[in-house]
Structure 1
C-alpha cells in the first residue's frame, strides 16, 4: 500500500493529459483494457476538442477524446467518460454519435480512423451487473446464417474501402464490482480505480509512475483546490443518481431509513428517555414510539 492518497483516476486522466510526459499512464490504461479484446497496445497521437458549449452540465462531455494509434499503424478514436446516470448506455450512444459528427464537421479525412472506442467509468452498479467489465459492438451478419460479413466498396477511382469492424465498440466498467482478484494487468488498474491506491506487488510497468504522479500531496495548492471542487461536484452527482434510482430501489432505501429510526428509538427508550423527546429526535410519531415502548416491556 502507498503512504500517500492518490487522485481518483477519472479526474487524473484530464490532469495527466495536460502534459505529454504523462500520456504514457493513460496509454497504459487504454492498452490494458483493449488487450482484453485482443487489440494491440496504443500510443496517443492527438487530443480532440469536441465539447459543445451549448450542452448542459449533466451532458458535458467525456473526460477525454483522443486519437490513438497501435503498433500496426491502425488509428482509433478513444472516448472516456464518467457516468452518474442509470441511463449510461443511452448517454454513451449519444456521446459517441456526437463525437463522430464533430469529427466530420472538422473537415478532416477520418476515413483513416478505423473506429471509435467508448469507455464508461461507472462508480455504481445495477441489479443486472455481476462483473466489473462489459464490452459490446455492432456486428453485421447474414440473417439466415448469422455469419459476419466483410464488405468492400470501390469508389469511382476504384480504390477499395474495406467496411469491416468500423462500428463503435463500448466498454462499461463498474468500479464497485471489482472483486479484488488480480489475474491480468487490467485488474491492477481496476484495483487502483476502486481504492485510489497501488499495491507494492503490482507488476504493471505503469503503477510506479501512477503512485508518484497521482499523489494528492504532490499537487500545487491551485491543483488541489480544483481537485477538491471536482470531488464536491462528484458527490452532488452521486446524490442526483441516488434520487433517480428506480422506485423499487427507492422504497428499499426508505424502508432501510425507517428501520434505522426504529433502532435508534429503541436505544433512546432503553436509556430512559421519555417518549415525547424520542419522537422529536427520530421524527417518528408519538404513537409509534409508544408502540415500541410496549414491545420492549
Structure 2
C-alpha cells in the first residue's frame, strides 16, 4: 500500500539533516552516483538558512562524505532561466570556500552537484542528465589522462576525477515507470509515494521516516500550509502566463486584421497583425503585472513571467 510522504525538499530541510536519517540520503546518493556514499556530516550553506523565498521555492543541502568530498543537493521548483549559470557558480563558490589558505591547488575538494528541478530546464527528452569535464584532442580525438606521477601522487586514474560533476534530475519529465532502482527514487521525488515493491537503497527508511502521519500536529500543520502556499504560487504563475499569452495573441490578431482591412492591401494586413499582436501582448503584460502585484507575487518572479523590467514593474505600483 502506498502512503503519502512528505516532499523531499521538506525532508531535506527538516528531517534529513539529523544523523539518524543520514542513511536515507546515503541511499539516494548511492543509487545516483553509482558508488557507496557514506555521509560524515551536513555542512551549513547560505541557502540552508530559511528565507521568505526559500519556504516553497528553493532548498539545498551540503554534505561531506567519508572521502572528504562535497555533495551539494539542490531542489528548485520555480523556473529560473539562468539556472545553468547558478550551478556553475555554486560549485565554484564551494571550491573557493573550502580550500585552506596556503594549502595549494592539490587541496581543491571534489564537488558533486545534484540538481533536482521541477521545471523545464533547457531542451531535452531525458529526465536524468550527467556532466563532467574531459579534455579531448582536437586532432586525434584522444582523451588527456594524468601522468604516472600524477596518478600516484593524487590517487586518480582520470583527469575528470578532479573536476566537479553535475547531475540534473528533470523530475517532471519522468513517465512514472520505474525501470531500475534509481527510477524508484525519481518516482518518489515526483509523486511523494513509495511502492511496496520498490527496493532501492534508502527507500525503506524513507517510507518510515517521511510518513506524513508520523509528524506531530504542529509539524503536519506547518507542512500542509507550506504545500498549499507552494501550489497556490505555482497556480498563479501558470495562470498568469497562459492567460496573458492567449489574451494577448487574440487581441493582437483582431486589431491587426482590422487595421489591415482598412488599408485594403496584403501588406497592411501583415503589418497590422504584427503591430497589433505586439501592442496587445505588451498591454496584457502590464495587466498581468498589475494583477500579480495585487496577488503578492515578488517583482523578480513577475519580471520572469512578463518580460517587463524591474523598473517598469515598480512604476505600476
- The structure where strand makes up a greater share of residues is 1
Please report how far the alpha carbon of residue 104 of structure 1 lies from its aligned counterpart in structure 2 after TM superposition. 2.0
Matches within 5 A, 1:33-48: 33-35=32-34, 40-48=35-43
Instruction: Give the aligned partner of residue 91 of structure 1.
Output: 86
Please report how far the alpha carbon of residue 235 of structure 1 lies from its aligned counterpart in structure 2 after TM superposition. 4.0
Specify which of 230, 246, 263 is matched with residue 255 of structure 1: 246
CA contact under 8 A between 1:8 and 1:193: conserved in structure 2? yes
| Structure 2 runs not aligned, ≥5 long | 251-317
Instruction: Give the aligned partner of residue 216 of structure 2.
Output: 220
Instruction: Give the aligned partner of residue 20 of structure 1.
Output: 19
Please report how far the alpha carbon of residue 49 of structure 1 lies from its aligned counterpart in structure 2 after TM superposition. 1.7
Please report how far the alpha carbon of residue 135 of structure 1 lies from its aligned counterpart in structure 2 after TM superposition. 0.7
Instruction: Give the aligned partner of residue 11 of structure 1.
Output: 10
CA contact under 8 A between 1:115 and 1:168: conserved in structure 2? yes
Instruction: Give the aligned partner of residue 211 of structure 1.
Output: 207
Please report how far the alpha carbon of residue 103 of structure 1 lies from its aligned counterpart in structure 2 after TM superposition. 1.1
Q: How many angstroms apart in 2 are the aligned matches of 1:220 and 1:27?
A: 25
Q: 1:61 to 1:235 in 2, by over 3 A?
A: closer
CA contact under 8 A between 2:58 and 2:74: conserved in structure 1? yes
Q: 1:48 to 1:106 in 2, by over 3 A?
A: farther
TM-score, structure 1 normalization: 0.68
CA contact under 8 A between 1:61 and 1:95: conserved in structure 2? no
Please report how far the alpha carbon of residue 101 of structure 1 lies from its aligned counterpart in structure 2 after TM superposition. 1.5
> Considering only aligned residues, what root-mean-square deviation do their CA atoms show, in Å?
3.8
Specify which of 69, 72, 97 is matched with residue 79 of structure 1: 72
- The reply to whether residue 119 of structure 1 matches residue 114 of structure 2 is yes
- TM-superposition CA deviations, 1:138-187 (whole Å, max 9, x none): 112333223222235979xxx93458221111111011111122221111
Matches within 5 A, 1:120-269: 120-126=115-121, 128-152=123-147, 160-161=153-154, 164-165=159-160, 166-228=162-224, 230-231=226-227, 234-235=230-231, 238=234, 250=241, 254-255=245-246
CA contact under 8 A between 1:6 and 1:214: conserved in structure 2? yes
TM-score, structure 2 normalization: 0.64
